[in-house]
Amino acid sequence: MATSMLPALPNSRTEPDGSAVIRVLSYNVRSMRDDENALARVIRACEPDLVFVQEAPRFFRWRKHAARLAARTDLVMLSGGATAAGPLLLCSLRATVERTEDVMLPLTPGLHRRGFATAVVRFAGARVGVISCHLSLQTDERYAQAGMLLDRLAAMGTPHAIAAGDINERPGGRSFRRLADSLQDCWAVRPWGEEHTSTPVDPHQRIDAIFATRGVQVLGCGVPQGLEGVTDRDLRAASDHLPVLAALRLPTTG
């Protein structure tokens, strides 16, 4: 889709009935090893209420690096980081936080330890569970982790939930299908922007995604184009993945 023809994604707002439109961003930031200035420009331009980060810094002074990213993007740290093996959640001050939990997944010998950054938050009258994830490169472990993700969402005690992250698999894969069979694959429901997230230099596959439970209304989802103050070079320089941005309407939950 040409940038000049791309419709505007709805802005964040609270509806008269207490429901909330929020902007959700999922982004693999490659441990912030690339151009941090470009990364901050991209995130700020997306104007997110929630950011589902993958490959957040995990080692020396990781909290300091994550806090710097939050500060530079006018957000706050919500949960995750090294304590979730890389997934991280950031949020705007619009969110009211009920609880957070970092979850470490079972370790398969010889493979990288994985985890989930989770939280329950409110936007106006809408309450939602959220999980940032980065699934395994190994096929069988990835499939098992997809099941653990669904179980974790179901156990959060919220009527609505959002999961987002680096699935390490295309939509035709069985782990991706396992998630999409139980949740809304937001890009498939209402595509907006571009589809492919990897790699920024040659986008040819969709391995990053935002999922939502059935009661959440998807207003648009995809790789953002034509962001104000952001160049194509910024998108290539910020990380080895492109971001996924969605606008979602969360029903009132009381």
CA atoms in the 13 A half-sphere facing the CB of 130:
37
pLDDT digits (tens, 9 = 90+) for 141-169: 999 999 999 999 999 999 999 999 999 99
Number of residues written out for the chain: 254
DSSP 160-208: -EEEEEE-SS-TTSHHHHHHHHHSEEHHHHSB-SB---B-SSS--B--E
CA-nearest of 38, 76, 85, 67 to 239 is 38
**What tens digit of pLDDT does each residue of 192-222 get?**
999 999 999 999 999 999 999 999 999 999 9
77-111 per-position pLDDT tens digit: 999 999 999 999 999 999 999 999 999 999 999 99
Specify the pTM: 0.97
16-250 in CATH: which number? 3.60.10.10
